[in-house]
Structure 1
Amino acid sequence: MSRTSAPAEQAEPTGQNGGERRPADITLSQGLKQRHLSMIALGGVIGAGLFVGSGAGIAAAGPSIVVAYALSGLLVMLVMRMLGELSAANPASGSFSVHAERAIGPWAGFTSGWAFWFLLCVAVGLEGIGAAKIMTGWLPGTPEWAWVALFMVTFCLTNLAAVKNFGEFEFWFAALKVGAIALFLVIGGLAIAGLLPGTDAPGTTNLTGDGGFMPNGVDGLIVGLLASVFAYGGLETVSIAAAESEHPVQGVAKAVRTAMWRIAVFYIGSMAVIVTLVPWNDPDVVSKGPYVATLDHLGIPGADQIMNVVVLIALLSAMNANIYGASRMACSLVARGQGPAKLGRTSGGVPRYAVLASSLFGFGCVLLSYWRPDDVFMWLLKMIGAIILVVWIFIAVSQLVLRRRTEREDPSKLVVRMWAYPYLTWLALAGMVAVFLLMAREPDTRTQLYYTGGLTAALAAIGYARQRSARTER
């Protein structure tokens, strides 16, 4: 079924499948299955930031990177639980933007939605560049921009087709990423226990030697904490995708419940394996990446190429998911009168104009990395530096407001409940503010904070002006 524009997104009180609530935006198809949602929830936060970017965190924090990932992982699990509660009570392709609008006002939905769209589109370009670098390493002489264009076209076409195509791509991408980390944990566990042929149990030598568990003190731990927080980005995709699943309420509830502890195991577990097996100050941890350094240390042949394949899959998965998430967010914003009407048009249950616009913006960011790498492109990178934290704050505030409202109006919608409400929600908000303060303390992240703050303030001002204008017109 196709329509020219999407109506405002709300949760219907009842549905035709046993009373299940569905989004009112019926122009989007429900082509995602439970297995798709489960793997999107797992794979969404397993990206190249974990496989490669975690090396800088280890170099700064040493073995205490395990504590950093545990702290940031706790914050992420609280945010995921809050988002799960909101999305199960009101599944919508606009996810937290819809919740922010209902809880705080249209300006909040506008600000969080367009900030997130901007983040995803720039991230698509960055991931395309990263994937192209791997390909040119395998095929020297081939132009990077051509590989980026190929990947962009591939995933743009994937997302222009039925949503089940996106789901299938993400299912297998996520399965490969999850399988790679699970295998890494098994190999690492055997090596730590001294059961891997040709290796001896390392004991606690690498954990307590070379400066101790916190070799660079609290400052090093803070740098590692900041690196780990942003490595977890991507959990929001499952709440966006839930609106297009067969059973949105049960789907998002199950995906959130099963994904949280597995994510903790994958992230914290793999960090523990790495710093137990490899000295934290080994140069290869940064130059090659911590996973390659660990596999090389264990004598696994072809470790670098194995991990290159895994990182490539992670990057392509993120490109696919981010084009999907950006297009749905744009469509949702337009459905609520918060953007150009054309982006809300759907065909075959797919917001194709939004897919094209998001892909073109992402490719434009790639071109800027070649044309204006030292100014415009760097401004884009700085502006997205802390957007995910802004989004998480909107999620937490929305959950505080809407939980009370839902308990009063229809408690049956609370299929997923935030633990120890409202105390853990306030604790999560305090944690987010603490991360902002830590970012302001570090020279490298302070600039990102300023640029992100500027973007957020500009969007909030525009959103508030639009809100006031709409009230005046009434």
Structure 2
Amino acid sequence: MASHGSTTSGTLENRELHRGLSQRHIMFIAIGTAIGTGLFYGSAGGIQTAGPGVILSFLIAGAAVYLVMRALGEMTLREPVSGSFAAYASRYLGPFAGYVTGWTFVFELAVVIVADTAAIAKYMAFWFPEVPAWAWVAATILVIGLINMTHVGNFGEAEFWLTLIKVGAIVAMIFGGVILMFSGASFADGTPAGLNNLVDHGGFLPHGVLGVLAALAIVTFSFGGIETLGVAAGEAKDPEKVLPKAINTVPIRILLFYVLTMVVIMSLMPWTSVDGSASPFVQIFEGLGVPFAPHILNFVVLTAAISAINACIYASGRLLYAMAHDGQAPRAFTNTNKGGVPWLSVVVMLVVMVLGAVLITVNPDAFGLIAGVASFAVVFTWAMIFLSHRAMQKRVKEEGAAPSPFPMPLGPVGTWLGLGFVATVVITMATLPDSRQALIIGLVWVAALTAAWFVTGVRTSAAVHDRTGQLPMARTHD
């Protein structure tokens, strides 16, 4: 693609991204995007819905995540680009599909940012209940803005250290929890810690299979944003080497960070004691009377929320940058500063944080609805990734291209299994009253996007920019 040089050297008109993410950065972005507010705070809703059966929900959703990442990985290794799956949807399904996919993922990231903003307010209230939420949101905006307005390497470095804190805390929590389970510790109500808590309070499936399915719509939110790895590949220095390594760690990460964590949490306390007033992690160790542990864990979950917002702002910027090049977003989103950062998208997402602060101030209990809307956006994005992957497989076969070096497990069957998961979540959301409102909001969003496609000039602009050759690449920057 032709370079869009700056009109003035070093100004905001420099229109190229920089390849500044190392293998270490990519690996930790892969880990970090799978460990966020959905696990530390949102898991309470899944536990309340399915009891210990939420472990099965995480296993099923985790398998779907792996299939998503393998589909995305196969496409990315054929053509590492900025914008990733939205670009592939445009190429293999048409400009409209790329437009809807890209904007829905941006919508997903914005909703996740609002959810994390609400979580930050909850976490800080644990220490400073008298301080208004907007003060902490303002401080977070300042920190996140400074990180994301500089070179992409700074984002990668920040995400590396934030993820290191999260991973270390989870591993320590698991080991500490196991020790407590076998040392005779008891919860505040006198219930002894132990694996028996997984079956003693209504059984392993207290709400049956329907509880597990209902929890799927909740826990899917936990994995929202993991697609960021595909976006980051566009700025990786060696995507062919680092991307397969990062993706192949997904099953281990899910088993360790989600499944094993849920086993430990619900062994330490009766699942019926999880009330959602705080992170289950904090609530458990507070109930067990472990000195300082609740404060340490509250710091960790706060770090996780900041990390998630950081990653969401990064991903939205890179995606809007690519979509703007395709005529599917305002051209202003192609403008970057001298650090190669698409600064306008950062500003837009910081404004989303402000709106999130207003929402949680008006309705402090809005987290459940926000998580539900995010779950819809997540599965919609996953569906488009699977459909793009299926279309790519057909085109590769028709053109007689070389086999993929990183093929989807089970081939086309893996793609159809992923689409089956998406259909299950959507049907469940439509069936359950608690999630139906979130589904309606999601469908209204898609309808609004469709109307905008025909009413505004996006349709014509996207058709003009529809690529048949190379997609916009990021510039190597040392």
TM-score by length of 2: 0.86
Distance, in Å, in 1 between the alignment partners of 2:108 and 2:247 is 23
Displacement of 1:368 in angstroms is 4.9
Displacement of 1:458 in angstroms is 2.1
**Paired AA for residue 217 in structure 2:** L
* Corresponding residue for residue 3 of structure 1: 5
Distance, in Å, in 2 between the alignment partners of 1:39 and 1:275 is 27
Q: Deviations over 1:109-166 (max 9, x none)?
A: 1111112112222332332343234335434543322321221122122111100110
Question: How do residues 1-400 of structure 1 correspond to structure 2 at under 5 angstroms?
Answer: 3-4=5-6, 27-192=16-181, 194=182, 196=183, 204-282=195-273, 284=274, 286-296=276-286, 298-348=288-338, 349-370=340-361, 373=363, 383-400=373-390
Displacement of 1:65 in angstroms is 1.6
Distance, in Å, in 2 between the alignment partners of 1:364 and 1:3 is 35
Distance, in Å, in 2 between the alignment partners of 1:263 and 1:218 is 21
**Paired AA for residue 157 in structure 2:** E
8 Å Cα contact 1:33/1:245 also seen in 2:
yes
Q: Where do 5+ consecutive residues of structure 1 fail to align? A: 6-24
Displacement of 1:206 in angstroms is 1.6
Q: Deviations over 1:375-399 (max 9, x none)?
A: x999977754511111000000001
**Paired AA for residue 446 in structure 2:** T
**Paired AA for residue 391 in structure 2:** V
Distance, in Å, in 2 between the alignment partners of 1:176 and 1:468 is 45
Change in Cα spacing, 1:134 to 1:409, as seen in structure 2 (3 Å) is: same
Displacement of 1:273 in angstroms is 1.6
8 Å Cα contact 1:2/1:347 also seen in 2:
no
Distance, in Å, in 1 between the alignment partners of 2:440 and 2:67 is 26
**Paired AA for residue 3 in structure 1:** G
8 Å Cα contact 1:89/1:249 also seen in 2:
no
- Larger mean Cα displacement after TM superposition, 345-354 or 320-329: 345-354
Displacement of 1:404 in angstroms is 2.9
Pair 1:463-2:453 in alignment: yes
* Corresponding residue for residue 421 of structure 1: 411
The size of the alignment, in residue pairs, is 451
8 Å Cα contact 1:89/1:413 also seen in 2:
no
Q: Deviations over 1:48-90 (max 9, x none)?
A: 2211221222122122121111111111111121112122222
Change in Cα spacing, 1:306 to 1:221, as seen in structure 2 (3 Å) is: same
Distance, in Å, in 2 between the alignment partners of 1:57 and 1:327 is 31
The two structures, once aligned, show a CA RMSD in angstroms of: 3.0
Distance, in Å, in 1 between the alignment partners of 2:184 and 2:387 is 52
Q: Percent identity?
A: 36
Displacement of 1:41 in angstroms is 0.4
Distance, in Å, in 2 between the alignment partners of 1:378 and 1:224 is 12
Q: Where do 5+ consecutive residues of structure 2 fail to align? A: 8-13, 466-478
- Larger mean Cα displacement after TM superposition, 383-392 or 93-102: 383-392
Distance, in Å, in 2 between the alignment partners of 1:297 and 1:379 is 28
